[in-house]
Structure 1
């Protein structure tokens, strides 16, 4: 029973160590990804500085950098907490091993003292000859042999414990050095974060000095957003209406066919033809039931939902500069994003994230918007310079839809991406695979 409990405890410890190791590895991978994204944003920001004038895009990049920098600092904090746990555990192990070593040495010293006092062959022989009978003599002989063997084992245990203690002390020193390095990295990141926030204030101040330019940029941006949202809502509304008309027409055809069959049957039986049935009343349907009315559409919806969290990104490489939801700009303007903006390379291909059908291709203020239907789900790809698909065309996962546009005045290249379930926008970050 004791053995079973000890084994169970050991398995729990090993599982905890494994989980911690995985967590530590994941934190390191995420930090490496954050470093990569921050490096890309730094390059993009330096490019915007060459324009000599502050723009809203500069603010957008700075905001994205600050968010990533904060996440990186939190990531470092998590690593430090993991290392603190490791240091605490290693310290306890060192203390335990040191205590074991001290006890082993104490026992070994007592054993050596005993052996020293009884080391003469005469004493050993007297010990044997003092036996009452042969059996007792034999047992005493075995005792002397086992005592020697035990002494050798104790010496080996001391050496093994000393070696293990040395390893644990080295591991502890290494962990402490790693923590020191992380603390320096943390301090450096906090200083960089402070500088980026100062730059943000500086850009806002510069923009406020050019209020006319700022307002024009805001008007142009808001107008494009409004046009994009209108095009998306119109496309979804038309798709739902077309599906409803198709379902109503199918219901009318079915009723007419049933009436024709009933009339033919009455004629064959020499009965009067039944009175014409009233036209079927429109059935109230939910958006989901309309868009999933066919088995093909229902399967596509199911497959799309099944890939939540693992959909490929609409561009091969990119960094999110604006997330989903309501946000407030540094200059105090409250706005809402129904998708995400992805900073990417000039001329990058924009790809479909899943199998589907193109339902809309439209020009929005000089750039193109492509919309793809996946059953009751829709994906939107905006700010395209060119497109190579057409309405009604079937597309597959990662198929190129076109190329992303680059803003001529700033040299910035950003793709806009949205996901809708019916008429409701959802957060793309929860659907895309980790970048």
Structure 2
């Protein structure tokens, strides 16, 4: 009896642990699967743009950047697949242990049930149940014997039903195990396929970088040109911000409308702007992308070097998003259009203010808004410029500022 109680206790613990682990592993599998699908979409979009042909040295550089991005993304995908396989290995291992325990418990139940049936059979041969009840020394004992026989019969039936339930559970768990094993096999095959693609892309990337090195002078000239254009844009944004800061300070001094800034030299906001700024900050990592449809980030925020070319660096105050023709830039949050201007290398640019945050949308060829317009999140700002002389290259340049500080847009956008 002690052994039976121990087995039941162990089984209950394993079933409880199995349920907890099952919920955790299911959640982990869903999260990894979600990440894998997102990476596959990113790879698909990058492949689409890699297949386009552009002529200028700057776009050879962009192709190298895309290849580097593609290799990095595929490396992440291979890692995610490895993690998924690891989760399924653990699931399979735990499921095998759980099934073994269920089968041991089932065997124990069957053995006990067989003993009970054997006892009943012997009793039927040696002593009639009715005689057993009537042969009691008094009526109370007869009642207890009748009750015993009734409860014993119930117990036997319950044991029989429990055995059937246990058998069905073993069958069901084996089906789950079979599915997990097949899923793991599929993931292993996908991982092998992605690893082979990764090796091929590594070779292509290396060849493209070597080709780019042969045109170092042209590339450096292109970078220097873009650097000068970026500096002009940065100075223009800084000038606009200072101009707006001065205007709000004057307005605050007049006291016609109550204004408040976060810092002594910060942008003095109205109550409405303060609310807008707070709401914008709360949505970090949740802001929609500044365009819809297919896209690929071809230039990221901050300092970078081309491939493994240590002597050639570039800096970006925002991100460049490659997309399809006829696409439009969209507001990432509610705000007010404060400036529309034109600069060489950036076509038309639009600045939208969100309290003390600003977003910049450049490389526009047609603008659908005007200065002073109040925009809603997702509202079209303008059509993105397409370079007809360079394979219909369509890129949106997007920046995010807080006061006079440049921020990494990718940390704020929802992917």
**TM-score relative to the length of structure 2:** 0.85
What SS is found at the alignment partner of 1:192?
Answer: helix
Q: Which residue of 2 aligns with 1:261?
A: none
2:61 to 51, 56, 62: 56
Provide the rounded CA distance (Å) in 2 between the counterparts of 1:323 and 1:194: 24
| Equivalent position of 1:155 in the other structure | 160
Residue 401 (structure 2) aligned to one of 420, 429, 435 = 420
* Aligned partners of 2:359 and 2:398 also within 8 Å: yes
Change in 2 beyond 3 A, CA 1:17/1:48: same
Q: Distance in 2 between matches of 1:74 and 1:358?
A: 43
What whole-Å deviation, never above 9, does each CA across 1:58-84 have from its counterpart, x for those lacking one?
012112212322232232233223323
Q: Say which one has the larger Rg.
A: 1
Aligned residues: 398
Residue number in structure 1 paired with 2:342? 363
> Equivalent residues in 2 for 1:243-392 (5 A)?
243-248=248-253, 250=254, 287=263, 290-317=266-293, 318-330=295-307, 331-332=309-310, 333-366=312-345, 367-392=347-372
Change (3 A) 1:118 1:297: same
Deviation at 1:45, TM superposition (A): 0.4
Please tell me whether the aligned partners of residues 48 and 410 of structure 1 are also in contact (alpha carbons under 8 angstroms): yes
Structure 2: how far apart are the matches of 1:82 and 1:141?
55
Instruction: For residues 110-130 of structure 1, give each alpha carbon's deviation from its aligned partner in whole angstroms, at most 9, with x where no partner exists.
Output: 112222322226454554455
* Structure 2: tracts of 5 or more residues without a match: 1-11
Q: Paired residue for 2:40, among 10, 23, 35?
A: 35
Q: Secondary structure at the match of 2:359?
A: strand
CA contact 1:235–1:359 (8 Å) conserved in 2: no
Residue 288 and residue 108 in structure 1: after superposition, are their counterparts in 2 closer, same or farther (change >3 A)? farther
Partner Cα distance (1:384, 1:182) in 2: 43
- 122-131 vs 145-154, which deviates more? 122-131
Q: Contact 2:58–2:222 (CA<8 Å) still a contact in 1?
A: no
Higher mean Cα deviation, 296-305 or 180-189?
Answer: 296-305
Distance 1:394 1:433 in 2: 23
Sort the Cα spacing of 1:326 and 1:95 in 2 relative to 1 into closer, same or farther, 3 A: farther
Q: Secondary structure at the match of 1:47?
A: coil
Per-residue deviation at 1:8?
13
Contact 2:95/2:177, CA 8 A, preserved across alignment: yes
Q: Residues 179-230 of structure 1, C-alpha deviation per residue, up to 9 Å, x if partnerless?
A: 1111111121122122222211111111122233322332233233223322
> Structure 1 residue 228 and structure 2 residue 233: aligned?
yes
Aligned pair partner of 1:182 in 172, 183, 187 = 187
Deviation by residue 1:162-186 (Cα, 9 ceiling, x = unmatched): 1100110110111011011111111
- Provide the TM-score with structure 1 as the length reference: 0.82
